[in-house]
Amino acid sequence: IKENQVNNIRRKVAEYELSDTIQSSDDMYSTSSSFISESPQQIYYGAPGTGKSHEIKKQTEGKEVIRTTFHPDSDYSTFVGAYKPTMKPVLDQYKAVAGKDEDIAYEFIPQAFLQAYIAAWNNQEENVFLVIEEINRGNCAQIFGDLFQLLDRDNEGYSEYPIKADRDLAKY
């Protein structure tokens, strides 16, 4: 395919986009450097190797960024967090009985979403960016769960559909 054919296809695809928060990789380079303040959620699309990740990295340089990549096996626990086995030291008085210095314990391990949420909560004066690579490769319902409701926001940036955190998440 010739380059001018590819550019024509890109232009036609861009004409059919309904949302100004969805931008092709071509549009990304023509926007001002303040693209990151336009909307709380933005999607950039384009062919592999067109510089989407590079441009986002450049635009968020020096800011708090949490990155993750979705894939077919991604789920809520790999995006939000879950209990996982970890090694904990055995108390001195039990080492002789246990016969070891460490034992398995289950601990809630936060993943990208919760890491970004906590960072934003702890520093509300600064933006925190959660960058999701390859969002189209994962099952969004399986990954986001109830959190998907929070993406629907009013003009002031608040979700119109509150959710209740499950006990494990609330406890953390």
The more confidently predicted of residues 39 and 126 is 126
- Evaluate whether 117 touches 25 at the Cβ level (below 8 Å): no
Separation between Cα atoms, residue 44 and residue 171, nearest integer Å: 35
Q: Which residue has the tokens 């926001």?
A: 153
- Mean pLDDT calculated for residue range 115-134: 93
Average pLDDT, the chain: 81
For the record, the structure tokens of 122 come out as: 């702890």
Separation between Cα atoms, residue 70 and residue 59, nearest integer Å: 21
pLDDT category of residue 23 using cuts at 50, 70 and 90: low
pLDDT at position 87 is: 92
Check whether 32 has a pLDDT greater than 50.
no
Q: Are strands 43-45 and 64-69 parallel, antiparallel or unpaired?
A: unpaired
- Mean pLDDT calculated for residue range 109-117: 94
For the record, the structure tokens of 149 come out as: 């409701």
pLDDT in tens, 1-13: 556 655 655 554 4
Q: Which residue has the tokens 């494990």?
A: 168
pLDDT at position 72 is: 96
The more confidently predicted of residues 94 and 33 is 94
Q: Residue 104's CB: how many other CB atoms inside 10 A?
A: 8
Q: Give the list of residues 6+ apart from residue 2 with CB closer than 8 angstroms, or none.
A: none
The more confidently predicted of residues 27 and 72 is 72
pLDDT category of residue 166 using cuts at 50, 70 and 90: confident
The more confidently predicted of residues 1 and 137 is 137
Check whether 141 has a pLDDT greater than 70.
yes
